[in-house]
Structure 1
Amino acid sequence: MSEQKASRGWAGTVLKLMGAGDYRLTVTGRREIGPHYLQLNFDAGGMLAAHAVHPTMWIRVWFVDGDKTHQRGYTLVDPDPDADTVSVEFALHDGIASQWARAAQPGDTIEATVLGSRFAIPEPAPAGYVIVGDSASLPAINSLLASIGDAPAQVFLEAGYEDDKDLPVVVGPDVTWVDRKNAGQGLLEVVR
């Protein structure tokens, strides 16, 4: 399931002008974390040697759909610069990225772009954190939680499916799962 080269449109052009680096990731394994959540493991194609790894580091992944290419952002999970391996987790639904992830097998490749990102805990560190997201943002949330250590954190997560509530969250924070309803209104009501 190697990806054909398709136009990335104006977004790809802008990223190139901004100095973004392109890499070909190769699927090396897959693990179903839940019925609606999948982790794919990749050889990073030199990406981790070229960019310093930091908490919440993310990439743009390009999914080909006919003659169009769509980009989606993903936080790196367990990046290992020495081995040049990384995982990406997919919250599964009906989109092009989920379709690709469901079908992906070892040996398949996909293009990724790194524009560059940074992470720093604010100085002085806050007294605590309030973190809000859904299952798609869980890799970024887990990366953030791991980086802040023992700092108090209250996490609110929106569950699109009942089984989302079984997804692994970094141990320690106070986690509240909220059922998805009315385009995020349920989550907003609980967070307020």
Structure 2
Amino acid sequence: MTGLLEVTAVRRVTPRTVRVTFTGEYLEALEAWPDQQLKLMFPPPGRPVRLPSADGDVMRWYQAFLAIPAEERPVMRSYTVRDRRPALAEIDVDFVLHGNAGGPATSWARTAAPGDVLGRYGPDAAYRRPLPVADTVLLAGDETAIPAVSSLLSEVDNAVVFLEVPDAAEEQPLPGDVHWLHRDDAPHGAALLDAVREAKLGDGSVSAWLAGEAGMVRALRRHLVGDRGLGKRDIEFTGYWRRKLTQDDAPTPEDLADAAEKLG
């Protein structure tokens, strides 16, 4: 479903996280499910949002999106719905501010204000994933995974949660027993991988949900499959972002292998 979103409120929930509240058509009827993702479309500087003039299946929609002239075509990025208020036709989306530079989404979020307008595609139930099922469910990720983990914890009551963030100021209130790991000056994902390696996950069945920086997610999967003996089908994973690369850059061989595994 395509439409426009208008910003109604902006607030910093941590020093590096901006929560933006949007309103828009059809949000009052938006079906809820955990880890609900949508695509946001950021217009070129000084231009209004131009949406594709096609509905129907995603491939036809995407072809119409690519047909928009490059100078008018929005930049598209995937985000997770952090919260929703159907009675007010509102959703919240959290933006993590990556460093001082960042791409178009980070740049937009730094100066976002009520009245700003973005485009959206979704959320589309075709991309809804089943909840992980096992005696123990491992949820692990970095700060970009917090919105999805928050929604999963509303449905999963046997989760062991590990979240790596830059420092203590980036922790957010979440239900359940969450193990917060502070990156400080260590490489991204090192603290998370160490903690998962040492975690006691019980004697029963285990499934895992992993999200965050793609290389970090890949390392976690290698550990869970190679060292813990989890089946590949027992791991739901998403590389939300790539160090030194954007969603506009060509996929690496590792990215292609990940995509093939998810489809297999």
Fold conserved between structures, TM > 0.5: yes
CA contact (8 A) 1:31 1:38 kept: yes
Deviation at 1:79, TM superposition (A): 1.3
Deviation at 1:54, TM superposition (A): 1.3
Identity %: 29
Q: Find the counterpart in structure 2 of residue 104 from structure 1.
A: 112
SS in 2 for 1:52: coil
Q: Find the counterpart in structure 1 of residue 139 from structure 2.
A: 131
Q: Find the counterpart in structure 1 of residue 128 from structure 2.
A: 118
1:27 and 2:33 are equivalent in the alignment: no
CA contact (8 A) 1:65 1:96 kept: no
Whole-Å Cα distance in 2 between the matches of residues 53 and 38 of structure 1? 22
Q: Find the counterpart in structure 2 of residue 7 from structure 1.
A: none
Whole-Å Cα distance in 1 between the matches of residues 193 and 114 of structure 2? 40
The code of the aligned residue for 1:62 comes to M
Larger radius of gyration: 2
CA contact (8 A) 2:6 2:117 kept: yes
Deviation at 1:161, TM superposition (A): 4.1
C-alpha RMSD over aligned residues: 2.1
Residue by residue over 1:65-92, the C-alpha shift from the partner in whole angstroms, topping out at 9 and shown as x without a partner, is 4636332211112212332111101111
Residue by residue over 1:129-183, the C-alpha shift from the partner in whole angstroms, topping out at 9 and shown as x without a partner, is 11111111100010001111xx22221112134421x322x22123231416334
CA contact (8 A) 1:26 1:45 kept: no
Q: Find the counterpart in structure 2 of residue 81 from structure 1.
A: 86
Q: Find the counterpart in structure 2 of residue 174 from structure 1.
A: 178
Q: TM-score by structure 2 length?
A: 0.57
Whole-Å Cα distance in 1 between the matches of residues 104 and 149 of structure 2? 23
Whole-Å Cα distance in 2 between the matches of residues 105 and 174 of structure 1? 32
Distance 1:134 1:48, change over 3 A: farther
Whole-Å Cα distance in 2 between the matches of residues 95 and 28 of structure 1? 23
The code of the aligned residue for 2:140 comes to V
CA contact (8 A) 1:54 1:119 kept: no
Structure 1 consecutive aligned stretches of length 4 or more whose deviation exceeds 6 Å: none
Whole-Å Cα distance in 2 between the matches of residues 26 and 69 of structure 1? 15
SS in 2 for 1:101: helix
CA contact (8 A) 2:38 2:81 kept: yes
Whole-Å Cα distance in 2 between the matches of residues 97 and 61 of structure 1? 9
Distance 1:183 1:78, change over 3 A: closer
Q: 2:163 aligns with which of 139, 142, 157?
A: 157
The code of the aligned residue for 2:22 comes to F
Q: Find the counterpart in structure 2 of residue 60 from structure 1.
A: 39
Deviation at 1:24, TM superposition (A): 0.5
Residue by residue over 1:17-43, the C-alpha shift from the partner in whole angstroms, topping out at 9 and shown as x without a partner, is xxxx21110000111111111101110
In structure 1, list runs of 5 or more residues that go unmatched: 1-20
Number of residue pairs matched by the alignment: 165
